[in-house]
Amino acid sequence: MAQPPHSDACPGCATTPEVAFARHDHSHCTGDILARAESLAQAQGARLTPVRRRVLEILLEEHRALGAYDVLQRLAAEGFGNQPPVAYRALDFLVENGLAHRIRRLNAFAACMHPGEAHAPAFLICRACNHVAEAPATPVRAALDTAAADLGFTIERSNIEALGLCPACRKAAA
């Protein structure tokens, strides 16, 4: 069941798979997410440096998860440096502070569309074009927590990823 969009999220990005996987301009929500990221970092006693902020902006520009070297190429082209630690440190900061997610299947990163909110996302990954949508998965996480509790296990972190075909790639394959 789709959840209503959060106030800081592009409604299409958050709730409509056809839009989440389609090319569209969600710049109207990017400013809100960046402002929220700045607030969250400050509240956590951290600093959203120019490099960290730019990396978050780069991630927000696409629904496709980006690898660290993709991010590094963009940073280098903009004069932020071309050494891998530049990108990796910024990406690690964003993940640790809940501003980005690591998509393990792709060894890549995507901006969090709901920074600062307690949520249990699932990542829907198109195996053909590598676009990623962050979908609400609270019932899935609850089932996982229950299964773990039945075994006396406490989950500290989980990453739910589903691989398939987005609407455009499914249509192209038909």
Domains of the chain listed by start with CATH number: 11-173 (1.10.10.10)
For the segment 17-53, what is each residue's pLDDT rounded down to a tens digit? 445 666 555 666 688 889 999 999 999 899 999 999 9
For the segment 130-173, what is each residue's pLDDT rounded down to a tens digit? 888 888 888 999 999 999 999 999 998 888 999 999 998 999 99
Please state whether 5 falls in left (phi above 0), alpha (psi between -120 and 50) or beta.
Answer: beta
Any idea what DSSP says for residue 63?
S
77 CB burial (10 A radius; 0-12, 13-18, 19+): exposed
Residue 22 φ then ψ, to 5°:
-95, 155
- Choose among 115, 119, 67, 113: nearest CA to 91: 67
Place of tokens 């600062």: 116
Q: For the whole model, what pTM was predicted? A: 0.79
